Chain A
Amino acid sequence: NAGVTQTPKFRVLKTGQSMTLLCAQDMNHEYMYWYRQDPGMGLRLIHYSVGEGTTAKGEVPDGYNVSRLKKQNFLLGLESAAPSQTSVYFCASCRQALDEKLFFGSGTQLSVL
């Protein structure tokens, strides 16, 4: 039972390049989230999904897109990376209701030069 798995763990991009971060969970969770963590800023919600085929914007959605084509996967895309998107990205999931424990992935360290 792997829990929440994020790939890749590290990535360096040049400004303007695109990439996709993959989050996979094997716990049959309905809800999945993408957060970014920056020093002194805490965890800020980018996008989230409450079920297969659904997505919604969070606090800082600009410059990102997401897809949830399969229940177990939640993809975060950067179409044209900017230095301001340098951050640690965490994916998280929970079973069903919001008032349940969030399971986090191990994070992706992304640097945009």
Chain B
Amino acid sequence: GENVEQHPSTLSVQEGDSAVIKCTYSDSASNYFPWYKQELGKRPQLIIDIRSNVGEKKDQRIAVTLNKTAKHFSLHITETQPEDSAVYFCAASSNQAGTALIFGKGTTLSVSS
């Protein structure tokens, strides 16, 4: 089945800096790659996703890139703000492996002002 590795586990940046979180997946049939943000004590919420027929997607200060050949995808946050502090999870899905998302272990992002 699918296995998703996420790095780093913790990331500390200064306000205004950029942050990059990287994930790799094992199932070459995976075709959907979302990112979820979980603030302390809250439920995870989708912030951006990308499908296998697209190499990059942007939404204001966040972007996701996908390299299907290397089986990795990344989340980029520019001009970080204190409210970006949260745990970020990547995930991958494959209809071939089963109709469910498999998540990485998460990255705790801390943005200091």
Contact = CB atoms under 8 A, between A and B. Distances in A.
B44 A104 contact: yes
A64 to B, nearest CB: 15
- The bracket for how many chain B residues form the interface is 20 to 34
Contact of B103 (A40, A44, A107): A44
Interface string A14-56: 0000000000000000010101000011111100101000001
B100 A98 contact: yes
- The bracket for how many chain A residues form the interface is 20 to 34
Nearest to A107: B43
B69 interface: no
B18 interface: no
Given A98-B32, A99-B93, A45 B102 contact: yes
Given A98-B32, A98-B99, A98-B100, A42 B6 contact: yes
Interface string B33-68: 010100000111110010100000000000000000
Given A99-B31, A99-B51, A43 B45 contact: no
B68 to A, nearest CB: 15
Given A90-B44, A99-B93, A42 B99 contact: no
6 contacts: A43-B103, A48-B100, A50-B99, A98-B101, A102-B34, A106-B42
Interface of A: 31, 33, 35, 40-45, 48, 50, 56, 58-59, 90, 98-99, 101-102, 104-107
What 6 pairs across the A-B complex have the smallest Cβ distances? A42-B105, A99-B32, A104-B43, A43-B103, A101-B46, A42-B106
